[in-house]
Amino acid sequence: MDLNLGYLWAMPTKTPQLISNNMSEYRRFYQEGSIIFLTIVTCNRQQIFSDEKNINLLRQVTANVKLEMPFEILGAVILPNHLHFLWQLPPNNGNYSKRVGRLKALFTKSFKQENNLIQEVSQSRKKHRESNIWQRRFWDHHIRNEQDFEQHLNYIHYNPVKHHLVSCPHFWQYSSFNLWVKKGVYSSQWACICDQNQAKIPDFRSINHNFGE
């Protein structure tokens, strides 16, 4: 599948920065204008997004974060206990950690207000100004080239099948799959077993990491 997205791989004009985010000297690499694959997981794998109301809340919060700190969502999937994104950052601001932190904070605030929750938070989480909604960290990967982008986009869209939530990608409504079908990049029958089709299962062995799940 040729995505024909070569225009995305223009090199940034500024030197990448190495920035500490004060998490036990954990450092992330920021490159302006880059594309980032993200995995964000709920605290203790809570099935928060098995409720469509919370999915809609997440979408609203994400839209608000995009208004505050612009970026483009090239791919996304919402699973009951984790999220995957492909974000393209603007050329003048590559700090995706700040955007993820803002998304988590806004969702946590809205989620508690919607559900009238007052949750007990551990001392460690209080120290780091965290709630019991999200795992403390998130997982990231910088997209290197068009093939790398295609592999991660495929992974996002196949993820609901991998986790046995649906039999085919087109059945999962909480992903960007159908948007890419409308663009003509995917067939609606991609990795599909409907009508006794013999699905071609995507091969992710060339990606040397575990996607942060």
For residues 110 and 112, what is the distance between their CA atoms, to the nearest angstrom? 5
Q: Is 30 a catalytic residue?
A: no
Structural tokens at position 182: 């409308």
User: From the CB of residue 71, how many other CB atoms can be counted at a distance below 10 Å?
Assistant: 19
Structural tokens at position 30: 């920021």
Question: Which amino acid would we find at residue 203?
Answer: D
For residues 103 and 83, what is the distance between their CA atoms, to the nearest angstrom? 12
CA atoms within 13 A on the CB side of 88: 14
β-strand 26-30 against 17-23: which pairing, if any?
antiparallel
Q: 46-57 burial string, b = 16+ CB within 10 Å, else e?
A: eebbeeeebbeb
| Annotated catalytic residue within 96, 158, 174, 186 | 174
- Strand ranges (E), the chain: 17-23, 26-30, 35-41, 72-78, 82-88, 139-142
Specify whether the CB–CB gap between 97 and 36 falls below 8 A.
Answer: no
Q: Catalytic site residues?
A: 174
